[in-house]
Amino acid sequence: MLNQLTISELAARLGRREVSAREATQACLDQIQRVDGKIHAFISHDAADALAQADAADKLLSNGGRGASRPLLGIPVAVKDVLAVKNQPLNCGSKILGKFISPYDATAIEKLKAAGAIVFGRLNMDEFAMGSSTENSAFGVTRNPWDITRIPGGSSGGSAAAVAADECIASLGTDTGGSIRQPAALCGCVGLKPTYGRISRYGLVAFASSLDQIGPFTKDVRDAATLLGVMSGHDLRDSTSVPQPVPDYAAALTGDIKGLKLGLPKEYMIGGLDPEVKAAVDAAVKQLEKLGAEIVEISLPHTDYAVATYYIIATAEASANLARFDGIRYGARVDGNDPIELYSKTRGAGFGPEVKRRIILGTYVLSSGYYDAYYLRAQKVRTLIRNDFLKAFEKVDAIVTPTSPTAAFKIGEKSDDPLQMYLSDIFTISCNLAGICGVSVPCGFTKNPKLPLGLQLLGKPFGEETMLRVAHAYEQSTSWHQAKAAL
C-alpha cells in the first residue's frame, strides 16, 4: 500500500509515474479514516486541501518537475500542532489559542513546501510540548499503534503514532528534552533531533528557546537524512540558526562504519533500566561491533544532574515564553473587570495543569532571591554537562545509549506522578542541554506484549553525517524498522 512506503520508495515510484501524488495522498487519507478513530494521532486534517496540493504536485511531476530541487515532490508529510502552517489551525495541543489560524509558514514548513512536499494535518501533542506521553493534550490522548492501551510517548506522540500507523509518509515534531526521540522509540520509527541551530525555529511556538529543535519522524534513516537536508540552514529570521553549510546527508550513508569509535557511557546502564531494554541495547552494541565499529567505555560524570538541570532551565524559559498568552496579545480572552483579572481568568481557563505547574516552577526559579540558587546554578551545571560530551567526543565519533528506560507504559500509569514522568527523559535530556544531535532507531521489541524499543545515537555538534552513517549501517543490518503494527 502506498501509505506504507518510505520517502525514497514513493519518490522513485512517483518519478517513474507509476503512481500519482493524488493516489499516495488518498492512501494516507484512507488510512486515517480507517485507523485514526483508534489512534487519534491527528487533531484535525483538511483532506480537500491535501488533495489539492497533490494535484498541483502531479502537474509538476508530469512536466518533469521533480529534479534535484524538489526531492519531496508529491510526498505527504504531517505536522505537529506547534509549527505554523499558513491558513491552518495552530493550537499547540492547548485550548488557549482558541480558533487561531496561522497567518504564515514556519521556515521549516516553507522549505518542505519548496521541496514539493504535501504538508497536511495537525498532529496531537502534549500541551505546549510539555510531557512524555501525549496525555497532556486538550484534544484527548493519542494511543500507541502497537497497543492502544498504551501511550505513544511524547510530547510529539501524534507525529510518532501517525508514522508508525502509516497515516502519512513522514512527519515533523519538536524536541526540547526528548520529544522526538522518545516517542519514535516507543512507536518503532526513526526520530532525529538535529544540533541546536541546524534548523531554523522561526514559526515554531517556543517552549524553551535554548533547547527546542525541529526534526523529522520517518520510517528509515535515509528518509530522516533527506528531511534534515531539506530543512537545515541559516535563517535571518532565527538568530540562533547557524550559518554552517548543509552537507548532502544522504551521501554520508555509506554503510561503512569500520574503524569508527563509539562511546558507551557507563553512567547510562542504570538501575531503572528495564532488563529487556538493556538486552536489546547490548545486542545492538554487539551488532555495531560486528559491523566494524570499536566500542569504547566513556564517562559522562554529570549525568545525574541532567533531569534536575533541565527542569529548572526548561521551566524558566517556558514561564517567560508563555507570558504572551495573556488574552491580549495571544489567547482566547476571558474578560475580567481589570487587566489582572482578565489575565488570570484567560490563563486559568486556557492552560492545562502541567503547563500551569511548569509556569509556576519557572517563575519561582527566576524570582529574585532564588535566581542565583536555582537558575544560575543550573546554567553552570549545563556547561559542565556540555563539557562532558565535548570531552567524550575527543575520543569517540558517536555515543550509543538506550533512548528510553522502558517501553511504552499504560495510559494513566504515570499521569499522577510528574516526577516518574520526568524520569522517562533521563537518556534524552542531556543531548538538548549540550546542544548536540541525537537520533533514535528501532532496535527490537519486548516479548509480551510486543512493544518497540529504540537505540539512541548521539553525535558531535553538527556531526549529523557520522551519527546518521552509524544509525543507517545498524538499521540496514537488522530488520526491526520493517516491522508493522497490526491495525
Q: Are 62 and 55 in contact (CB under 8 A)?
A: no
For 400, other C-beta atoms within 10 Å of its C-beta total 24
Q: Between 131 and 454, whose beta carbon lies closer to ligand GLN?
A: 131
* Footprint of ligand GLN (CB under 6 A): 129-132, 155, 175-179, 207, 314, 425
β-strand 213-218 against 190-193: which pairing, if any? antiparallel
> Radius of gyration over alpha carbons of the chain, in Å?
21
Q: Between 173 and 350, whose beta carbon lies closer to ligand GLN?
A: 173
Q: Are 180 and 174 in contact (CB under 8 A)?
A: yes
Least separation in angstroms between CB 253 and ligand GLN = 26
Q: Are 383 and 391 in contact (CB under 8 A)?
A: no
Distance, in Å, from the CA atom of 34 to the CA atom of 165, rounded to the nearest integer, reads: 10
Least separation in angstroms between CB 355 and ligand GLN = 10
Distance, in Å, from the CA atom of 73 to the CA atom of 58, rounded to the nearest integer, reads: 8
DSSP 260: -
Tell me whether residue 391 is one of the annotated catalytic residues. no
Distance, in Å, from the CA atom of 5 to the CA atom of 448, rounded to the nearest integer, reads: 28
Least separation in angstroms between CB 354 and ligand GLN = 8
Peptide bond into 299 cis (omega under 30): no
Least separation in angstroms between CB 472 and ligand GLN = 24
Annotated active-site residue in 179, 232, 241, 424: 179
Least separation in angstroms between CB 98 and ligand GLN = 22
Of all helices (H) and strands (E), which one includes residue 467?
helix 464-476
Tell me whether residue 266 is one of the annotated catalytic residues. no
In one letter, which amino acid is 188?
G
Q: Between 10 and 429, whose beta carbon lies closer to ligand GLN?
A: 429
Beta strands in 207-357 (DSSP E): 213-218, 261-265, 294-298
Q: Between 345 and 357, whose beta carbon lies closer to ligand GLN?
A: 357
Q: Which residue has its beta carbon closest to ligand GLN?
A: 179
Least separation in angstroms between CB 218 and ligand GLN = 18
Secondary-structure breakdown of the chain: helix, strand, coil percentages, each rounded to the nearest 5? 45, 15, 40
Distance, in Å, from the CA atom of 164 to the CA atom of 170, rounded to the nearest integer, reads: 9
Task: Give the cell for residue 256.
Answer: 561503512
Annotated active-site residue in 8, 20, 94, 155: 155
Q: Between 156 and 226, whose beta carbon lies closer to ligand GLN?
A: 156
Q: Between 74 and 131, whose beta carbon lies closer to ligand GLN?
A: 131
Tell me whether residue 171 is one of the annotated catalytic residues. no
3-state SS, residue 381:
helix
Residues with catalytic function = 80, 155, 179
